[in-house]
């Protein structure tokens, strides 16, 4: 991109979820138009875009309209067909690039990329049959492993804990996937993520790493700054930069890590888009992850990622609505000092569905932790061991 795309230009977003919604909010504030191609009926979040294209992702009419309207394209959801990504990239700039997105949307490609780039990850084996599963099970460490589908896995979906003594034929038949990745089960000391932004000129910035806690395989809370040793956090930043450079990445990238009890810091997954664990940046950083995405893809200078307040981000799942008869007590939540509420505008609340998040900022991290505990009690969210 020879010249930056200035406000008044049109951003094309592939995908129709809450990440696209928050990107659209940032774009509107900065004076950009947004076209969201969502590939099906709008479930609510995409409705604030200037234009919403509901045609399926294999629609020629949808593609023609998207290309005609947009000056640059990005994704808010990685599982976009590779062919579509490549066709878009032939006509207008696509950031991040199609190869980076394709690597992150497929566990086998992701693991191969990490291995050839000499980036640490858990030990793994590629499985495509009962025989190859039997061979892999025989190499598992004592604490077992996790069998994961190669494609379309998120929030714990497409995963099966396994041990070396399982019947490979029965397990493979039950798993019912053409290809899979078997990973060693890592004894975790902690989980963390690092957001890194990179522009076309190779300039980079990283955010303070987030310490993450999951409930039923879905992110529950992110704590920033992470309460881990500075050397571990610095290593995470360096690895995130290494990943971004190896992918020739443009935009915001989330790198999720396992910090093992044996001291290893291992890349678990990469997300080629804004990330749930980065939502705190809206309220607690000088530049949010969504504004950074816009700055990078439009050729503008990267903003400061400085954390101005310690913060805790609490995910709000559909369970909150179900347990409160559809009427959560937002007034009491917002009465907590330092609270900020973000709802995603989804039409229907269902258990385990991400409906929003609340952020709690405070001068001291302990105060933010107390604030999120109060919110959990108000909303009936189960306690977690932090």
pLDDT of residue 150: 87
pLDDT of residue 143: 87
CATH of domain 123-184: 3.30.1490.20
Summarize pLDDT for 87-104 with one digit per residue, the tens. 999 999 999 999 999 999
Q: Is the pLDDT of residue 176 over 90?
A: no
| DSSP string for residues in 266-320 | EEEEEESS--GGGTTHHHHBSS-HHHHHHHHHTTPPPPP--B-S-EEEEEEETHH
Q: Is the pLDDT of residue 155 over 60?
A: no
Per-domain residue ranges for the chain?
10-94, 123-184, 188-379
Total length of the chain: 386
User: Which architecture does CATH list for 188-379?
Assistant: 2-Layer Sandwich (3.30)
Q: Is 198 helix (H, G, I), strand (E, B) or coil?
A: strand
**CB burial string 84-101: b at 16+ within 10 A, e below:** bbebbbeebbbbbbbbbb
Q: Is the pLDDT of residue 46 over 90?
A: yes
The sign of the dihedral angle between the CA atoms of 371, 377, 382, 386 is positive
pLDDT of residue 156: 57
- Do 242 and 270 form a contact (C-beta atoms < 8 A)? no
Summarize pLDDT for 221-255 with one digit per residue, the tens. 999 999 999 999 999 999 999 999 999 999 999 99
SS (H, E, C) 141-190: CCCCEEEEECECCCCCCCEEEECCCCCHHHHHHHHCCCCEEEEECCCEEE
> Can you say how many angstroms the Cα of residue 374 is from the centroid of all Cα atoms in its chain?
26
pLDDT range class, residue 151, cuts 50, 70, 90? confident
Helix ranges (DSSP H) in 54-167: 60-69, 82-91, 98-104, 107-116, 130-137
Q: Output DSSP code: residue 43.
A: -
Summarize pLDDT for 255-313 with one digit per residue, the tens. 999 999 999 999 999 999 999 999 999 999 999 999 999 999 999 999 999 999 999 99
pTM: 0.96
pLDDT of residue 152: 66
Q: Which CATH class is domain 10-94?
A: alpha beta
Q: Is the pLDDT of residue 109 over 60?
A: yes
Higher pLDDT among residues 237 and 384, named by residue: 237
């Amino acid at each position: 991109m020879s010249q930056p795309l200035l406000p008044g230009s049109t951003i094309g977003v592939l995908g129709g979820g809450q990440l696209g919604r928050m990107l659209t909010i940032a774009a509107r504030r900065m004076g950009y138009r947004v076209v969201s191609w969502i590939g099906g009926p709008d479930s609510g979040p995409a409705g604030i875009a200037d234009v919403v294209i509901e045609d399926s992702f294999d629609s020629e009419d949808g593609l023609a309209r998207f290309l005609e309207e947009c000056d640059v394209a990005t994704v808010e959801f990685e599982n976009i067909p590779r062919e579509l990504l490549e066709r878009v990239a032939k006509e207008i700039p696509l950031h991040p690039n199609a190869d980076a997105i394709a690597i992150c949307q497929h566990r086998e490609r992701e693991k191969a990329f990490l291995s050839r780039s000499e980036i640490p990850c858990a030990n793994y084996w590629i499985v495509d049959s009962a025989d190859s599963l039997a061979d892999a099970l025989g190499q598992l460490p004592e604490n077992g492993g996790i069998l994961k589908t190669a494609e379309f896995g998120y929030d714990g979906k497409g995963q099966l804990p396994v041990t070396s003594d399982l019947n490979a034929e029965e397990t493979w038949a039950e798993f019912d996937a053409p290809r899979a990745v078997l990973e060693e089960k890592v004894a975790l000391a902690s989980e963390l993520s690092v957001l890194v932004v990179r522009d076309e000129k190779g300039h980079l910035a990283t955010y303070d790493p987030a310490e993450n806690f999951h409930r039923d395989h879905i992110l529950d809370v992110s704590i920033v700054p992470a309460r881990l040793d500075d050397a571990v956090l610095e290593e995470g930043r360096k690895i995130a930069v290494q990943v971004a450079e190896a992918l020739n990445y443009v935009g915001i990238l989330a790198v999720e890590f396992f910090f093992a009890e044996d001291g290893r810091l291992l890349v678990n997954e990469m997300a080629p888009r804004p990330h749930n664990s980065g939502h705190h940046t809206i309220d607690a950083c000088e530049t949010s992850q969504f504004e950074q995405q816009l700055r990078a893809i439009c050729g503008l200078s990267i903003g400061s990622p400085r954390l101005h307040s310690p913060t805790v981000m609490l995910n709000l799942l559909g369970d909150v609505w179900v347990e409160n008869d559809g009427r959560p007590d937002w007034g009491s939540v917002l009465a907590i000092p330092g609270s900020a509420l973000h709802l995603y505008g989804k039409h229907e609340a269902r258990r385990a569905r991400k409906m929003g998040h609340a952020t709690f900022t405070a001068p001291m991290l302990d105060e933010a932790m107390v604030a999120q505990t109060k919110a959990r009690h108000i909303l009936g969210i189960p306690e977690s061991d932090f």
